[in-house]
Chains A and B, each alone.
Chain A
Amino acid sequence: MIDFARVQKELQECSREKDSSGIRVSPKSDNLARLTGIIPGPLGTPYEGGSFEIDITLPDGYPFEPPKMKFVTKVWHPNISSQSGAICLDILKDQWSPALTLKTALLSVQALLSAPEPDDPQDAVVAQQYLREYQTFVGTARYWTESFAKASSLGVEEKVQRLVEMGFPDGLVRSTLEAVGGDENLALEKLLSS
């Protein structure tokens, strides 16, 4: 049986501290076993400015079993699947402790965004890129943040459309936008100078 009294208390604590931590947790319905977490992308990383949604499912044994977490927001990171959002993090697996909470677990996920561990990857493609072409990795990660993790992400298609209308091929527009982290003006400069 899930300790729902504890989950209630955790939610209260999260909402009290949401201004200082930036982390938010809310139930999906009145069933407290299914929740949504939001973490802000850490400053000074390609995820800065993004807001990442995480799907949380509490197993029956919670808090004696770790919560199941995965990214809903698409994210480019060596330890997070770019396809499924699955997270490779020890405390969500064999290193779980019941003294951890949803908030501290989400803080750990946030810390993982700051400190990728490419030697223990979840997404091999991303990890390879991180190790071999770090700058490309940063560009892609930033582009994904711009495209998927921002309220303004919806504008990406419009940016593409505007640049295509200027006469640049669609594929080139997309890869250029991606390379400069989604900044339309920088992309235009780059497209004009190439």
Chain B
Amino acid sequence: MRPHSVSSAAAKQAELLRIVGNNCFKQGHLGAAIDAYTEAITLCPDVAVYWTNRALCHRRKNDWLKVEKDCRRAIQLDNSSVKAHCTLGLALLQKQELDEGVNELQKALDLGRGANLMGYMIDEIWQELAKAKYLQWEHASSKRSWELQSLKEACETALKEKHFLDDSHPGSFSDEAIISHMKQLEVLSRVFKEAGEPDIPGEVPDYLCCKITLDILRDPVITPSGVTYERTVILQHLQKVGKFDPVTREPLDHSQLVPNLAIKEAVQAYLDGHGWAYNTN
């Protein structure tokens, strides 16, 4: 079949171009790399990797509009590409499109964990996601705090007016009325203080933190001893220090690690309510 052999020759040629492109990219010749990937795309426009690789070149050149375009095309071709979602997310964040950028990074993170990718990539995505989420929180919390403050002032004014009206009735100048008024103002102030508390940065509870990093858990795994660690970190421990549980010192093999989904959900719930905890410094 002639068409088939033509297309397979084209595919072979495109693959060679990809390798050329990769080498150029590694050596920092971004223009040459882009040319190679572009040729590969012309030969085989349906291979997602050519698009994502070219997007990575644009990313290095800070040409974010082209990054976005190439990534979107790559995702159309392969919706499970971690690289494409991650890089698209970064491009959107550059455009200040926080919400959509966060969504893309989150997708990349979920896909990456499922595919058991290298830890460093997951870590990088998490860092970027955390930065964006922190920004999102900063915007939202300053808005919330402003809303609370103006509502509080309105309530105080209303209470004072009510007190004044009550007072204007004959025979109600009692101390009791004043005391109850003061008390209401006090309760009001407490209610508003409590409402604003989740937005005040503090300490993440220990039970949501890894025993090694002391930081909030991202991809928690539990050992047979029942202790929960950050996956990449406990793997590093098993490789560098020894095959034991760091807390209990019971023997431990990496095959015994199990995702701790309950803690993962608890962490997510905590982060949803306390966006400041995304602060990675």
Contacts and interface: CB of A to CB of B under 8 A. Distances in A.
Interface of A: 3, 5-6, 9-10, 13, 61, 63-65, 96-99, 101
Given A6-B212, A99-B247, 17 more contacts: A5-B213, A5-B215, A6-B213, A6-B214, A6-B215, A9-B214, A9-B215, A10-B214, A13-B214, A64-B237, A64-B241, A97-B241, A97-B244, A97-B246, A97-B249, A98-B237, A99-B211
Contacts of A98: 212, 233, 237, 241, 246
A10 B215 CA distance: 11
Interface of B: 211-215, 233, 236-237, 240-241, 244, 246-247, 249, 280-281
Contacts of A96: 241
Which 5 A-B residue pairings sit nearest by Cβ, starting from the closest? Answer: A99-B246, A9-B214, A64-B240, A97-B246, A99-B247
A50 B233 CA distance: 38
A97 B281 CA distance: 24
Main secondary structure of the interface of B (DSSP, over half): loop
26 contacts: A3-B213, A5-B213, A5-B215, A5-B280, A5-B281, A6-B212, A6-B213, A6-B214, A6-B215, A9-B214, A9-B215, A13-B214, A64-B236, A64-B237, A64-B240, A96-B241, A97-B241, A97-B244, A97-B246, A97-B247, A98-B212, A98-B237, A98-B246, A99-B246, A99-B247, A101-B214
Nearest to A95: B249
Nearest to A61: B240
A98 B247 CA distance: 8
Contacts of B214: 6, 9-10, 13, 101
A174 to B, nearest CB: 46
Contacts of A6: 212-215
Nearest to B244: A97
Contacts of A13: 214
B260 to A, nearest CB: 16
A63 B280 contact: no
Contacts of A101: 214
